[in-house]
A = this chain, B = another copy of it.
Amino acid sequence: MKKSSLYKGCLEPILLRLLKDNGRMYGYQMTQMVKEITKGELTITEGALYPLLHKLEEQGIVETETEMNGSRMRKYYSLTKAGKKQTAVAMDEMKAFMQSLEFIVNPKPVIG
């Protein structure tokens, strides 16, 4: 990922969110979509992406189907039932996290 290490720890929930929204995606596609959505701000590196996807598969969060696109392989990932549950939890955590950042960056003045 690009820049400042702020994104550290956010990759997993980001991938879960992508899969939740798009149903079925392959790795390279995820990197491109994130780059596009964030206007180039966030670039997922392959060294981070693939090992994480493998871990999620091991954990039964995602499942895969490999397909050929012409002569090129694509490995499609989608959320399992357990993965959907896990994603809901991760999204709640994300919300709380973003809310907390808001509080810190934009603190409400104490009245009184």
Contacts and interface: CB of A to CB of B under 8 A. Distances in A.
A4 B9 contact: yes
Interface residues of A, number: 34
Interface string A3-42: 1111111100110011001000000000000100111011
Q: Which of A17, A42, A100 has the most CB of B within 10 A?
A: A100
Interface of A: 3-10, 13-14, 17-18, 21, 34, 37-39, 41-42, 91, 93-105, 107
Contacts of A21: 107
Contacts of A6: 9-10, 13, 93-94, 97
A38 B100 contact: yes
B9 A100 contact: no
A101 B37 contact: no
Nearest to A93: B4
A101 B104 contact: no
